[in-house]
Structure 1
Amino acid sequence: MDNSIGVLISFFLVAGIGIYTQLNTYRKKIRFLEVKVDALIKLTGIEFDDNSLVPLEVNKAIKSGQRLKAIRLYRKITGAALKDASEVVDALLKNS
């Protein structure tokens, strides 16, 4: 019985490490693609309206001057990291 529990724990540990590694790889690929798209937008001079991609609740918080609330909402809705959410909100505040 103790041996089977050890095997199960080992299996879940290895599976967890494998899943984490794969997710980390996908995160890196996505970030690389984001950098490429940003460079292409800059290079071509395309106007890109970030407001259309921001949830309505976040835009409302920005318009009412509630920066921290906007960041918190953006993170909650999109799952973004604090730094990324802060950058988005600050860019929107700058453009408004």
Structure 2
Amino acid sequence: MDTTAVALIVTVLVVQFASIGMQFSRSERRVARLEHKLDQIMAHLGLQDDDPRLQQVHELARTGRQIEAIKVYREVTGAGLKEAKDAVDRMVA
């Protein structure tokens, strides 16, 4: 196989992986927006998530242990870093 063919194959693979990454990123953003909207609806209706670990998140946030709170929040909800940080910041505010 000559270098041109190898370069072409590598280029095609890189473009495909980049495309997959963009689609995944877009899906993550859509899911995060939907979760945020659901959180707002639940808050408006006065509903709470029953997961006891969320109480731990509130306690950690209230006692100034935001990094730990963010970590636990991400474990419980599967949220991304920014979403978890924003959620913990809202708990403290």
TM-score between both structures, scaled by the size of structure 1: 0.58
Percentage identity across aligned positions?
A: 17
Matches within 5 A, 1:56-95: 62=60, 65=63, 67-71=65-69, 73-74=71-72, 77=75, 78=78, 80-81=80-81, 83-91=82-90
Return the alpha-carbon distance in structure 2 between the equivalents of residues 87 and 28 of structure 1: 14
Greater relative CO, 1 or 2 (CA 8 Å, sep 6+): 2
Q: Distance in 1 between matches of 2:42 and 2:67?
A: 29
Relative distance call for 1:8 and 1:50 in structure 2 (3 A) is farther
Listed as ranges, the gaps of 5+ residues in structure 2 are none
Instruction: Find the aligned partners of 1:52 and 1:13 in 2 and give their Cα distance.
Output: 43
When the two structures are superposed, what TM-score results if normalisation uses the length of structure 2?
A: 0.60
Provide the aligned length of Structure 1 versus Structure 2. 90
- 1:91 deviation in Å? 4.8
Structure 1 residues without counterparts, runs of 5 or longer? none
